[in-house]
Amino acid sequence: MLRAFYHVLLRDLRLALRSRHELLNPLIFFVLVVSLFPLAVTPSETQLQQMAPGVIWVSALLSVLLSLDRLFKQDYEDGSLDQLMLSPNPLVILVLAKVCAHWLLTGLPLVLIAPLLAVFMSVPDAALPALLYSLLLGTPVLSLIGAIGVSLTVAVNRGGVLLSLIVLPLYIPVLIFGANAIDVASDGMSVRGQLLFLGAVLALAVSLAPIATAVALRITASR
């Protein structure tokens, strides 16, 4: 199973690197939204600092949502998804490998570039660790939950709106606690509670989301 996990992960990484323009779209979107927001509203430094957590997290959420369509869509269209389901290896493990690849290509770059944008948004230095930890815990959850939505809409033409309706309500707790962790850290208070909540949600998502995604994919393939 570990070998199958590794090969699926490596395959998805290689395929993504062949189309680098699509790979960069979520990151460029994230940078543009965060950097253009202060120019559009021209707030004071205090107002910008108050808005920064929400702007950064909403931008990260939308960037991940923008990239979800390629998680299973290409495999469904070229028949690779059928081969994965016919594999003797558990589909749950293969799904988890694809979600990990998606996070490495989409979520991790957002985490790495977020501190630079946070400085641009006047986020205090004391809040930068909370920003990193909240995104490290929260962005994998976005990919895992998004995988469920993609598996339900993979056979639907132009299912982007339906995908958004499915996953956005499930994203709300992560968005609230992720942004609140940065806000609380900016005031010099402990963010232990918020990070523990995000860690618990991540553990729950890792345990259940691949199973739900695998079941949804089999239902979709049987139609």
Residue closest to 145 by CA, chosen among 105, 76, 201: 201
Average pLDDT over residues 180-185: 93
* One-letter amino acid for residue 38 of the chain: P
pLDDT in tens, 7-44: 888 988 888 887 777 778 889 999 999 988 888 777 77
Could you tell me the maximum CA-CA distance found in the chain, to the nearest angstrom? 59
| Euclidean distance between CA atoms 92 and 96, whole angstroms | 6
CB 95 within 8 A of CB 4: no
Q: Which pLDDT band holds residue 48 (cuts at 50, 70, 90)?
A: confident
pLDDT in tens, 75-111: 887 777 878 888 888 889 999 999 999 999 999 999 9
CB 172 within 8 A of CB 54: no
Residue closest to 210 by CA, chosen among 134, 103, 66, 135: 103
| Euclidean distance between CA atoms 179 and 183, whole angstroms | 6
CB 206 within 8 A of CB 143: no
Domain spans of the chain?
2-221
pLDDT for res 159: 64
| Euclidean distance between CA atoms 64 and 61, whole angstroms | 5
pLDDT for res 130: 94
SS3 123: coil
CB 182 within 8 A of CB 130: yes
| Euclidean distance between CA atoms 154 and 199, whole angstroms | 29
| Euclidean distance between CA atoms 5 and 15, whole angstroms | 16
Identify the H or E element spanning 170: helix 160-186
Residue closest to 71 by CA, chosen among 153, 136, 5, 135: 153
Question: Any idea of the CA torsion for 91, 26, 110, 204, to the nearest 10 degrees?
Answer: -30
